[in-house]
Amino acid sequence: MFKINVTPKFGDIDGLKHVTNTVVAGWFETGRNDIFRFFTPDLDLSYEKWKLIMARTDFNFISQMYYGFDVEIRTFIVKIGNSSFTVGHEAWQKGELKVTGEAVVVHYDFIDQKSKIIPEDIKAKLKEHMKSG
């Protein structure tokens, strides 16, 4: 499991002083960077080097988050397939689970425009970060 802390900015807040729900997608994306490095270690976004494409994301908003308190983003692997894997996310604030989500990511060849089998060495790295329980 990977963990990062984010500090909500003033611009992340809506009129009710809640962290707006659109901000969470960016936080979860940042939480996936360590996993992205398994495929592209330098995170080079050039067409020839980048190897992943997003297939689906979803979010479950459990409770409100507020300005003035850091948020811990937890990122882990839920499932590994042949050419895709599912990443799980959790956002915690003040010791409480606030948001969960998942993202399905596909190992993809942008030159050939098709999915590719995930290499076994990368599958092994992904397995190290599967959430237990």
What CATH code is carried by the domain that includes residue 24? 3.10.129.10
Mean pLDDT, all residues of the chain: 93
Name the more confident of 110 and 106.
106
> Is residue 53 included in any domain, yes or no?
yes
CA 120 to CA 4: how far, in whole Å? 27
> Is residue 132 included in any domain, yes or no?
no
> Is residue 133 included in any domain, yes or no?
no
Contact 83, 53 (CB under 8 A): no
> Is residue 7 included in any domain, yes or no?
yes
The three-class DSSP label of residue 5 is strand
pLDDT tens digit string along 8-48? Answer: 999 998 888 889 889 999 999 999 999 999 999 888 777 77
Domain count, the chain: 1
**Structure confidence at residue 118 (pLDDT):** 97
CA 46 to CA 49: how far, in whole Å? 5
Domain that holds residue 74: 2-127
